[in-house]
Amino acid sequence: MSTDLQELFQSNRAWAAKTEAREPGFFTRLLQQQSPQYLWIGCADSRVPANDLVGLLPGELFVHRNVANLLVHSDLNALSVIQYAVDALKVSHIIVVGHSNCGGVRAAMMNQRAGLVDNWLRHVQDVRDAHEGFLAGLHESLQVNALVELNVLEQARNVCRTTVVTDAWQRGQSVVVHGWVYGLHNGLLEDLRITATSATEVGLAYDTALALVKQRYRQQQAQVLADTTAPATQNGALNAD
Ligand SMILES: [Zn+2]
């Protein structure tokens, strides 16, 4: 086993050379300043590489990641990232991005114990408990991804409620908060449409997005029930989807 991780340094040298060849002066220009338009708040999951998913280069995306893409009101790390992004970098968009089959959300949903992280995931369980009735009505196969989306809505609303964002809105600075979800199975991002551009929009944006999530999962629930109760056809195949 390599202890000095030479393979990563080799890949790094190749990447830097390729980047410089494609765009001469790329790195020296980045030295002058970074001016990203977007702050990405995503999950730490290794399968969700922020820049790659949206095709953005170094310098174009400011990134904060933690387990289950949380914005906890007392998390000085995340709050500092938001403050620097909004006040210094003047990003135009803050995007909270969850992803399907999130291990952290799954553990929270199922009360799986993993150690210290359980305390962090307690925030996701608070989201779960707030929507207990809705989640309990869903087929087990739908519950984790439904909670992933509910969690995105909750965290996006938390972003809107930070002093940094409310102060920015109050002084007329343009900042748009978004909530998206990424499909591990297909590589596609979907907009959950909790888009807010001012403090007065947050409540309605949250309610509208929440209604859409519930509507979509109730449709999927109906489909799951239809699939599980439908008799097999003559060739033995059940409904294709
Ligand atoms: Zn995750």
Domain count, the chain: 1
The reply to whether 63 falls in a domain is yes
The string of pLDDT tens digits covering residues 11-25 is: 999 999 999 999 999
Range of the domain at 159: 34-229
Ligand 1 midpoint to CA 106 (Å) = 9
Catalytic residues: 43, 45, 47, 99, 102
CATH assignment of the domain containing 199: 3.40.1050.10
d(CA 57, CA 78): 22
In this predicted model, what pLDDT tens digit does every residue of 28-64 receive, in sequence order?
A: 988 887 899 999 999 999 999 999 999 998 999 999 9
**In this predicted structure, what is the pLDDT of residue 33?**
77
Residue 9 lies in a domain: no
CA distance 85 to 81: 6
Distance 102 CA to ligand 1 centre (A): 4
> Which pTM was predicted?
0.92
Report how far ligand 1's centroid is from the alpha carbon of 225 (Å).
27
Q: Which helix (H) or strand (E) holds 43?
A: strand 38-43
- Please check whether residue 102 is in contact with residue 45, taking contact to mean a CB–CB distance below 8 angstroms: yes
234 in any annotated domain:
no
Q: How far apart are CA 107 and CA 54, in angstroms?
A: 28
- pLDDT by residue (tens digit) across 148-160? 999 999 999 999 9
